[in-house]
């Protein structure tokens, strides 16, 4: 019950942040907030025994980090860039997508992967208990 209350408090805080941060942004979270939220998500997934489905739920962040790794590898060993800019959302901005379009598409992608990951978690719960 305590973990559910904690997750509800974090969700409420994030919804309030998004409510007041619709384009154009008035507040920036920065790395400190983003890293602490990512760590919180990881800890909650470990506490709920759903760490493997976190890979699916947070797949956008996996893609963002992977695009940086691909870009660095390509520049170092192949001497050319794969993306115009890294991480991936900056590549989309560099090809001409406006920021709100990039953000909305990221939200849609994250909603879909979150639903898929949640379904995988719920279906898998009966196997190990």
DSSP state of 75: I
Q: Give the global pTM.
A: 0.79
Verify that 44 and 57 share a domain, yes or no. Answer: no
Q: String of b and e for 36-74 (b: at least 16 CB within 10 Å)? A: eeeeebeebbeeeebeebbebbbbbbeebeebeeebeee
Whether residue 59 is found in the same domain as residue 120 = yes
Pair (12, 63) in one structural domain = no
* Structural domain range at position 38: 1-48
Task: Provide the domain count of the chain.
Answer: 2
Q: What is the pLDDT of residues 21-44, one digit of tens each?
A: 888 888 888 888 889 999 999 999
Q: What confidence tier does 96 reach under pLDDT thresholds 50, 70, 90? A: very high
| Angle (deg, nearest 10), helices 2-19 and 30-47 | 150
72 shares a domain with 86: yes
Mean pLDDT of the chain: 91
Q: Are residues 54 and 67 in the same domain?
A: yes
On whether both 129 and 69 belong to a single domain, the answer is: yes
Which segments of 23-76 does DSSP mark as H helices, in order?
A: 30-47, 51-57, 59-73
């Amino acid at each position: 019950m305590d973990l559910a209350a904690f997750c509800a408090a974090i969700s409420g805080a994030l919804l309030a942040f998004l409510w007041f941060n619709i384009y154009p942004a008035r507040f920036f979270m920065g790395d400190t907030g983003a890293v602490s939220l990512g760590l919180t998500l990881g800890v909650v997934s470990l506490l709920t025994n759903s760490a493997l489905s976190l890979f699916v739920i947070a797949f956008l962040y996996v893609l963002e980090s992977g695009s940086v790794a691909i870009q660095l590898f390509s520049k170092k060993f192949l001497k050319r860039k794969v993306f115009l800019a890294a991480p991936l959302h900056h590549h989309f901005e560099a090809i001409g997508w406006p920021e709100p379009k990039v953000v909305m598409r990221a939200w849609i992608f994250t909603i879909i992967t979150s639903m898929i990951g949640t379904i995988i978690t719920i279906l898998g719960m009966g196997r190990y208990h």
